[in-house]
A = this chain, B = another copy of it.
Amino acid sequence: MKKSIAIDMDGVIADIEPHLIEWYKKETGVALNQDMIKGLGEEEAFSDKEALHKILNTESFFRTAPVMDGAIETVKSLMKEYEIFIVSAAMEFPLSLFEKRAWLQEHFPFISWKNIIFCGDKSIIDTDFMIDDYCKNLDFCKGKPLMFTAYHNIAIDHHERINHWNEVPSLLENHIAKTEKVL
């Protein structure tokens, strides 16, 4: 049986960081950049909570997010060896549900609707690997957690890290080889 991987959307296959910076500037006039927000939590980085809330609930915000560099090619190629599930915490923002589904259909049409999960809490998701940018998901996952680097998780060091999608295939292979050796 193929090993399974749960892959997050925002900050993992959707490059939400520069997108949010751009929308935040339009909304508040505050020009942030990726260096300025490194290591900060979302609510520290985007400190105007009302503006942040408004953006995240605005139609087309999620629909127009750019794709993370290398994500399409790598995910497509991983599908030959792994069972891929897209697992996104979309439930908090009801408007995002349809938009995220449409975004996936546009950029990742090769992923079946059967392999898409929109949820809140990810603790009941059981896959061999989970690629995510948040500890709230990775700390409780049932498989091997892999942290995709994002501005807000720079200081966290208790998960194996992915800095770019091109690192993923060999990282997974190494992990599987190591596990098989132990067994």
Q: How many copies of this chain?
A: 2
Could you name 18 residue pairs across A and B whose Cβ atoms are closer than 8 Å?
A4-B124, A91-B114, A94-B101, A97-B97, A97-B118, A98-B98, A112-B120, A113-B120, A114-B120, A115-B121, A116-B119, A116-B120, A117-B117, A117-B118, A118-B118, A118-B119, A124-B126, A125-B125
Residues of B within 8 A of A127 (CB): 124
Q: Using a Cβ–Cβ cut-off of 8 Å, how many residues does chain A contribute to the interface with B?
A: 27
Shortest CB distance A89–B (Å): 8
Do residues A113 and B97 form an inter-chain contact, with CB atoms below 8 A?
no
- Secondary structure type dominating chain A contacts: mixed
**Residue A102 at the chain B interface, CB threshold 8 Å:** yes
Shortest CB distance A105–B (Å): 8
Which positions in A face B, CB cutoff 8 Å? 4, 6, 85, 91-92, 94-95, 97-98, 101-102, 105, 112-121, 124-127, 142
